[in-house]
Amino acid sequence: MTLKERLVKEALVLFSTKGYMSTSISDVMARAGSSKGGLYNHFKSKEELLLEALSTARKIWRERNLDGVSPDDRPLLQIKRILENYRDRYLPDEESLPGGCIFVSLVVELSHQEPRLAAEVNEGFIRFKGLLTRLLEKEQRDGGLKPGVEVERVVTMIFSGLLGACVIYTSDKSKENLGLAIDSLLEHLSSISR
């Protein structure tokens, strides 16, 4: 593992637990066993390090949450699989993201201070909502939803419920509460299926 990879990995751990502002370059150096010069050889600023870390985080997000989600499955099942992955693979990943969902932490921390960075995170949220919307619309076209179900409303419900679950898990680290929150969303999905 190269120094650069170690730096990004440890930065991700620290940013996810302590946040961006409260994580110092020295913290990252220390955890990666590097020196200041070593770090600034690879990244021209702390912000650039964050951007690299974010990119890695997105990769992790996809690996964890899209695992076992097949385009051939019924769209509603794909969404359920994603929710289960959030509960079983993504949020409890103590090694890569011990602080919980780094996107939630960062968007809350940075939205009023670093709008550009926050906008980049928000972009990811919009893409995720887009994915949910496409899946539900397909399900609706296939006739899998009860009549009268509004896709946008369901997407909002799932999405905000999921973000809330991330906050709760960040705050209390209780797998029980996390399970409850995800289950209530799964149940809601079942209730609109026919």
From the list 194, 116, 129, the residue with the least C-alpha distance to 163 is: 129
> Is residue 62 packed enough to be buried (19+ CB in 10 Å), middle (13-18) or exposed (0-12)?
exposed
Indicate whether 38 belongs to the interface with DNA (CB under 7 A).
yes
From the list 42, 41, 44, the residue with the least C-alpha distance to 8 is: 42
- Single residue of 17, 19, 31, 40 touching DNA by CB under 7 A: 40
The string of DSSP letters for 12-56 reads: HHHHHHH-STT--HHHHHHHHT--HHHHHHH-SSHHHHHHHHHHH
Which residue number, 122 or 193, has a Cβ lying nearer to a copy of itself? Answer: 122
Indicate whether 188 belongs to the interface with a copy of itself (CB under 8 A).
yes
Least distance CB 37 / a copy of itself (angstroms): 27
- Single residue of 117, 135, 165, 189 touching a copy of itself by CB under 8 A: 165
Neighbouring C-alpha atoms within 13 Å toward the C-beta of 155? 19
Q: Which of residues 103-122 bind a copy of itself (CB under 8 A)?
A: 104-105, 107-109, 111-113, 118, 121-122
Which residue is it, tokens 């709760």? 168
Which residue ranges make up the site for a copy of itself (CB under 8 A)? 17-19, 21-22, 98-99, 104-105, 107-109, 111-113, 118, 121-122, 125, 152-154, 156-157, 159-168, 170-172, 177, 180-181, 183-185, 187-188, 191
Which residue ranges make up the site for DNA (CB under 7 A)? 2-4, 23-27, 33-38, 40-42, 44-47
